Amino acid sequence: MEENIEIKIKIKKSLYEQILKEAERSGFNSLDEFFEFILEQLVESEGAEEASLSEEEEEKVRERLRALGYID
Amino acid sequence: MVSKPHGGKLVNRVVTGKRREHLLEESRELPRIEINYERLIDLMDIAYGVFSPLEGFVTQEDYLHILYDMRLSNDLPWTIPVILDVDPEEIQGVKEGDDIALAYDGKIYAIMRIEEIYGWDKKEYVEHVYKTTDPNHPGVVKIYKMKELLIGGPIDLLNELKHPLEHRILWPIETRVLFREKGWKNIVAFQTRNVPHRGHEYVQKAALTFTDGLLIHPLIGWKKPGDYKDEVIFAAYEALIKHYYPKDVVVLAGLLMNMRYAGPREAVHHAIVRKNFGCTHFIIGRDHAGVGNYYGPYDAWYIFQEFPDLGITPLFIREAFYCRKCGGMVNEKICPHSDEYRVKISGTKLRQMIKNGEIPPEYMMRPEVAKVVINFKNPFVE
């Protein structure tokens, strides 16, 4: 398994209490798990495309979709 | 936006161009293992990213984590080990670290790097994955017929599988581009291995109300006798979409994947697969991926509580039925009337009517769909 790094952050108490409730409601076993999941989602949404297709490769995909009638 | 692939990256193990020519040449000199058709489909699914993040058949560490924890060794949710079985004689002289060629019907499809050769306990597998050791369960039967050893390691696909329905099959990269072309950000997937009746239509439309688009995703792959043939399912859905869905809200595409009939575990597996196709939501109905009476009608809902980090939203939609008092298709949550007004749609009864060439009543199946299905001489797998 990948190595873990411990970090300390300061957040508002009211936010912390809300996060505790949300983590429990969502079914996570610990706050660590919950934070890791949220941060992963955030990083992935800002991160690189899922499969970097070249323009040529993407056009090839579009050609197939056109040929099969999925797009014009 | 469309879902990121499971694990963050869409796997692509399809080799093309000069590298493919070189590897094909090399593969002819390698020890060769003949695989069966189901393993070939698994191979395709790995190569085209359907099973992202898997890059090959699982090694023992992942295999055991999946069985016991329903997660990969890196803690990513994964509920069904994707395994490749061999007999000891087939890999005589082959050791971990070697490359082998995987062939089907004498044709090489891939090169595999053997990272690990390991033994397995079939009883342990079926107990965990199928929650039964009943030799009558179709999935259990298959496991017990598999070979003595498992090999794990990454694959490189060198040849595509020519399939009679390849014009129906879209791979994850293709649906992702398609959804982007359509401007869809929220997409709900509906898994099926049946022709559509009114209950299916109701469930799909209920989900579609909240999303930009619907992916109707029939499974193409191994099925048990009595299942509808693939071409029948597609023809039936085309009739339904043509007459009863607005234009441009539905994509009908085939998923080449083996059905395992593993109930709850397979429901999660199916959700992960649809996440790889770019879907943000996945419909889980009654007895998803079940067979016979092995699983409770809503067992496939409860298992999702163990995966708050799945990355695709399951939509739990109850079974639909026709209520004479409500005057339409409803479900238990929204219909206040007693059983005397409720008419359930029985898949068995529908099958019988179709076998007899009878058009079912309209509250069970749209007449346009029924006519298409009945027109097939033998709509069922034998």
Residue in chain B closest to A23 (alpha carbons) equals: B308
Residues B275-334 have pLDDT tens digits of: 999 999 999 988 788 777 888 888 889 999 999 999 999 999 888 999 999 999 999 889
Gyration radius from chain A CA atoms: 21
> What does the DSSP 8-state code read for residue B2?
P
Query: What's the pLDDT score for residue A31?
Result: 83
Contact yes or no for B9 and A50 at CB 8 A? yes
B366 closest CA partner among B229, B219, B196: B196
Q: Which of B75, B177, B182 sits opposite A61 (nearest CB)?
A: B177
Residue A53 has pLDDT above 90, yes or no: no
Structure confidence at residue A47 as a pLDDT band (50, 70, 90): very low
Residue A50 has pLDDT above 60, yes or no: no
Catalytic status, residue B293: no
Which of B20-24, B111-115, B289-293 has the weakest average pLDDT?
A: B289-293
Per the residue annotation, which of B113, B193, B318, B342 is the catalytic one?
A: B193
Residue A25 has pLDDT above 80, yes or no: no
Question: Contact at 8 Å (CB) between B196 and B171?
Answer: no
Residue in chain A closest to B167 (alpha carbons) equals: A68
Residue in chain A closest to B49 (alpha carbons) equals: A51
How many Å apart are CA B191 and CA B307, to the nearest integer? 20
Contact yes or no for A51 and B9 at CB 8 A? yes
CA end-to-end span of chain B? 42
Residue A24 has pLDDT above 90, yes or no: no
Q: Which long-range contacts does A51-55 make (Cβ < 8 Å, 24+ apart)? A: A51/B5, A51/B9, A51/B10, A51/B12, A51/B49, A51/B173, A51/B176, A53/B173, A53/B177
B8 closest CA partner among B213, B309, B290: B309
Q: Which residues does chain B have within 8 Å of residue A29's beta carbon, measured at their own beta carbons?
A: none
**Percentage of residues of chain B with pLDDT beyond 90:** 87
Residue in chain A closest to B53 (alpha carbons) equals: A50
Q: Say which residues have a Cβ less than 8 Å from residue B100's Cβ, sequence separation at least 6.
A: B30, B31, B32, B33, B91, B94, B111, B112, B114
B231 closest CA partner among B161, B138, B160, B169: B169
Range among A45-54, B191-200, B221-230 rated most confident: B191-200
Catalytic status, residue B194: yes
Q: Say which residues have a Cβ less than 8 Å from residue A59's Cβ, sequence separation at least 6.
A: none
Q: Which of A28, A41, A65 sits opposite B177 (nearest CB)?
A: A65
Residue B127 token pair = 């107990």
- E strands of B229-268, at which residues? 250-252, 255-256
Query: What's the pLDDT score for residue B247?
Result: 86
Contact yes or no for A28 and B305 at CB 8 A? no
Q: Which residues does chain A have within 8 Å of residue B74's beta carbon, measured at their own beta carbons?
A: 1-2
CB pairs under 8 A between A and B: 56
Distance from CA of B169 to the nearest CA of A (A): 10
CA end-to-end span of chain A? 47
Per the residue annotation, which of B12, B36, B186, B194 is the catalytic one?
A: B194
Residues B353-365 have pLDDT tens digits of: 999 999 999 999 9
Query: What's the pLDDT score for residue A46?
Result: 45
Q: Which of A1, A44, A62 sits opposite B4 (nearest CB)?
A: A44
Residue A51 has pLDDT above 80, yes or no: no
Tell me, rounded to whole angstroms, the distance of Cα B381 from its chain centroid. Answer: 17
Query: What's the pLDDT score for residue A48?
Result: 41
Strand partners, B57: B153
Q: Which long-range contacts does A64-72 make (Cβ < 8 Å, 24+ apart)? A: A64/B174, A65/B170, A65/B174, A65/B177, A65/B178, A65/B181, A68/B167, A68/B170, A70/B170, A70/B178, A70/B251, A70/B253, A71/B178, A71/B181, A71/B182
> Which residues of B have a CB under 8 Å from any CB of A?
1, 4-5, 8-10, 12, 49, 73-75, 167, 170, 173-174, 176-178, 181-182, 251, 253, 305-306, 308-309, 311
Mean pLDDT of B49-56: 98
Residues B162-179 have pLDDT tens digits of: 999 999 999 999 999 999
Q: Which of B176, B182, B308 sits opposite A28 (nearest CB)?
A: B308
More confident site: B80 or A49 = B80
| β-strand pairing of B99-104 with B107-113 | antiparallel
Residue A52 has pLDDT above 70, yes or no: no
Contact yes or no for B173 and A51 at CB 8 A? yes
Is it true that the peptide bond before B138 is cis, omega within 30 degrees of 0? no
Which of A25-34, B213-222, B252-261 has the weakest average pLDDT?
A: A25-34
Q: Which residues does chain B have within 8 Å of residue A4's beta carbon, measured at their own beta carbons?
A: none
- E strands of chain A, at which residues? none
When scoring A50, A56, A57, A65 by the number of chain B Cβ atoms within 10 A, the one with the most, hence best to mutate, is: A50
Residue A58 has pLDDT above 70, yes or no: yes
Distance from CA of B5 to the nearest CA of A (A): 7
Query: What's the pLDDT score for residue B294?
Result: 87
Chain mean pLDDT for chain B: 94
Q: Residue B157 — φ and ψ, nearest 5°?
A: -85, 130
Q: Which of A1, A47, A65 sits opposite B174 (nearest CB)?
A: A65
